[in-house]
Amino acid sequence: MGGSYSATSLSRISTAKSDGNSDCALAGNIPWLRAPGGIDLRNLFADYIRKLPIDLRTYLLPFIYGLFGGLAAVAFQKGASIIFSMFWEKPSQQMPPGAFAFFSLATILAASIFAGLILTFVSRDAAGSGIPQVKVAFWRDFGFMPAKVVIAKFFAGAISIGGGCSLGREGPTVHIAGALASNIAGWLGIAKQGRRPALLSGAAAGLAAAFNTPLSAITFVLEEIIEDLNNRGFLAQVLIASVTATFVCHIFLGDNPAFVIPSIGHFSGILYLLVIPTAGLAALAGVAFQKGTLIWRDKIKRIKRIPFFLKPAVGATMNWILGISVFFSIAKIGVFGLGYGDLEKMFYGDISGPQAGILVIAKLAATTAVYAWGGAGGIFSPTLFFGAAIGLVFTDFCGLVLHLQVNDRIALTVAGMSACLGAVVRAPITSILIVFEMTHQFSFVPLLMIGTIASQAVSRALCHTNFYSEIIERDGIQLERHMPPRSLVSLQNRPVSTLANFSPIFASSTDGEELERLCAEHPYQQFPLVINGQLIGLIDRNKILSSQSPKIAVEPAESIPAHSTIREAVAKMVENSMSLLVVLSTTENTPIGIVTLHDVLRLQNQLSDAASL
């Protein structure tokens, strides 16, 4: 399997004590981890796990991660729901509209400021969805996430969503459960370098419990975090964690689907054609949301005059203006919080097409504002809302010229949900499965499949990558440098910048004494000569050490732009019999790094090792 990691090899428990592992050392000093008599429960559990047969240990650990991940997901969902019910659902029904307007403004501002303080003083990494952070932690940090992220994300997320901010709970749940599993692994003695299986299992458990969707939780971590549906190394552990978390969800929340919608038997055959424009429009909304949110987010990050803890309040204020305007116009509060109440009403015909149009415009703008200004919440729920509302609007429009039944209305609404989500997260299998599992109606699946094809076509034509990966790119993280190539072709097509050394040692003159000092400090065979930002040539180590002249001869050097592929770099090395190329900046054409034949061979060996797992 190209590029697949072995879960077993990554989950070996370190036999070393807590040296070099601050989490383990800290956990050993926590009073509630000590039994009466001073027995260190953490070391006791770690020793017990370590003595188990490796096969049993491999399947017991994901059960533990799934259990605690499911409990965390249930607690998070309950907390956000209780807050929203107390401060939004009941007041909107019981208070006069004017009083509710002032009460809701105070609520959303207080919630966003409180959440901003938590993010500022506990962990700024807890802002946003959480799925980009999980992906970065998996690949770059070997699955390690600090414990403070769990605390910050849990309280900031529950307060933000329950307090009325137009964000989703699914991304935060993935973040919380994944980070919690990573820390549980640390408490059980697993070194920081071996926590990828824990993080992935926790992430799957979080999504499974958040939506009551175990199958799509499995496909999501494979499609989005690992980016390899063929990966079998983690499949068993992710499956166990997902199923365990789903059972926890059933115990505390029941086994009902996420959305209870009317059962439909058959729908009109023309829907197989109408689903294509429905999915296309839903995908366009998703693309607009992605581009608008991330461009605005970049600009807001550069604003320094507003304190970090107040930034979420700015987005929340915009959210309130949009939401309260909708409340006064159509008496709906779907722009606040998850919006699931109004989303279910769309299925039952309690919201008309024009009302859905008002809601989707306001909801999209509100979510864009809240997320761009640093709110702690996800995008799953909002994108489902966008797609459902667009599906309903389009169905009502088609109903002016076509005779569509109630079942047709529901089917296109559901298809819009899947299409918009799929366009934003770029995980087509997950977008089909998750909507199917949320509705428990198999009759939707053919429509969802057709809609997914259409939405993926629109998304891939207008966006070069998905929402989460674009956030990682815009934050300056080159994740591909940490990810194994999937095949020889993908390796050759990677930009040479993913392989290059951007901290090279350049010579700055041909002076013999200076170059001898350079050789004494560094063991390299060749040194690029760069004077005033311009590449002059190469100086060979042997010539430096054997020359009697005060000036060392310079050999010709070959260079390559940073955006060139590894295939082009290797071809240039072979053509010119060179083992080193100087990498040039694509904008200023100045030397910024080097790439060697040794770098290429090392990456090819990495590909061979990964394929053998």
Q: If you average pLDDT over residues 219-229, what whole number do you get?
A: 92
Asked, colleague to colleague, whether 7-32+41-94+129-253 and 484-611 share their fold, the answer is no
Side by side, the strands of the sheet bearing 559-561 are 559-561, 580-584, 591-596
In terms of pLDDT, which residue wins out, 610 or 122?
122
SS (H, E, C) 458-496: HHHHHCCCCHHHHHHHHCCCCHHHCCCCCCHHHHHCCEH
Choose among 494, 411, 402, 475: nearest CA to 446: 411
Residue 31 has pLDDT above 60, yes or no: no
Residue 409 has pLDDT above 60, yes or no: yes
In terms of pLDDT, which residue wins out, 487 or 574?
574
pLDDT of amino acid 607 = 62
Q: Where are the domains of the chain?
A: 7-32+41-94+129-253, 271-480, 484-611
What gap in Å lies between CA 337 and CA 317, rounded to an integer? 13
The pLDDT-based confidence of 25 (bands split at 50, 70, 90) is: very low
Instruction: Indicate the length of the chain as a whole number.
Output: 613
The pLDDT-based confidence of 7 (bands split at 50, 70, 90) is: very low
- Specify whether the CB–CB gap between 447 and 415 falls below 8 A: yes
Phi-psi region of 213 (alpha: psi -120 to 50; beta: other; left: phi over 0): beta
In CATH terms, the superfamily for domain 484-611 is CBS-domain (3.10.580.10)
Q: How many Cβ atoms sit within 10 Å of the Cβ of residue 454?
A: 22
Beta pairing class for 559-561 and 534-540: unpaired
pLDDT of amino acid 608 = 59
pLDDT digits over 434-455, tens only?
Answer: 999 988 888 899 999 999 999 9
Of the given ranges (195-204, 439-448, 487-496), which has the lowest mean pLDDT? Answer: 487-496
Helices (H), 212-303: 214-220, 235-253, 271-301
Helices (H), 331-405: 340-347, 353-372, 380-398
| C-alpha distance from residue 557 to each of 189, 518, 530 (Å) | 50, 19, 11
What gap in Å lies between CA 613 and CA 609, rounded to an integer? 7
For 183, how many CA atoms within 13 A lie in the half-sphere containing its CB?
Answer: 19
- Whether domain 271-480 has CATH 1.10.3720.10: no
Of the given ranges (63-77, 254-268, 573-587), which has the lowest mean pLDDT? Answer: 254-268
424 contact partners, CB below 8 Å, separation of at least 6: 286, 289, 290, 379, 383, 459, 466, 467
Choose among 258, 60, 280, 108: nearest CA to 169: 258
In terms of pLDDT, which residue wins out, 176 or 35?
176
pLDDT digits over 48-72, tens only?
Answer: 777 778 888 888 999 999 999 999 9
pLDDT of amino acid 280 = 97
Record the pTM: 0.81
- Which residues does residue 179 pair with via DSSP β-bridges, in sequence order? none
Q: Out of 1.10.3470.10, 1.10.3080.10, 1.20.1070.10, 1.10.3720.10, which CATH number does the structure's domain 7-32+41-94+129-253 have?
A: 1.10.3080.10
pLDDT of amino acid 416 = 97
In terms of pLDDT, which residue wins out, 47 or 500?
500
